[in-house]
Amino acid sequence: MERFELEPKLKDEIRSRVLGVGFMKIVQSVRRGGAVFRIAMRPVEIGGERKFQAEMTDDGQVQVKNLSAEEAAAGLEEILDQKGARELHLMTGKGDLHVRVTRKGRVVVSRSAEMDREVTVMPHDRVKRLPLSAFDSSALLRATGIADGSGKVRASTPPTGKRPCLFRSSIRLHISSRPTSPTETAGSARRCAASTTRSTSS
């Protein structure tokens, strides 16, 4: 057996725990010239089908892939065949397994006491949240005077001629953080006054 290599019996134990019932997560960190390469894998449910999600972190770059059972088995072999100083932590419903390989190639194995944890594979299907899908208009309505302090729309609202100016001021206040120059402010005031005058005369 080569230096840094895990014993065949230990490899078989890790395979049976990862690919068997009750698997929760496996994480391995490998040191490469001062940097750390980390790979984690856990079971997920996507579209009603059991998958494995692999997350790889290398030099600050993160990649996430969803794997089939066959792809996960092949990925696990790559984890087991890694060389160099590294740490592996495996969690299952029956207990945890920790493997540490030192810089000199010595393999240290420790196991937790037997457990009886309930393992639930959570669905990974998610509904995308668009920016405006969760927009709360109550603050804007209160600022414009259309709604009261509790967020309820008032029975009477300002005259139609004044409402556009209120909306423009509120939108500028709540959405735009860009400073307004004196020229823009004066121009906006003239347009607002002209709009109000036309609405009143009509």
Between the alpha carbon of residue 141 and those of residues 67, 135, 163, the distances in Å are 48, 12, 11
Picking from 98, 94, 99, 100, the residue whose alpha carbon sits closest to that of residue 113 is 94
Picking from 144, 186, 184, 148, the residue whose alpha carbon sits closest to that of residue 166 is 144
d(CA 170, CA 187): 17
26-84: pLDDT as tens digits: 999 998 777 888 999 999 988 888 899 999 998 788 999 999 999 999 999 999 998 88
Structure tokens at 31: 């040191």
106-138: pLDDT as tens digits: 999 999 998 888 877 777 655 445 554 455 666
pTM over 0.85: no
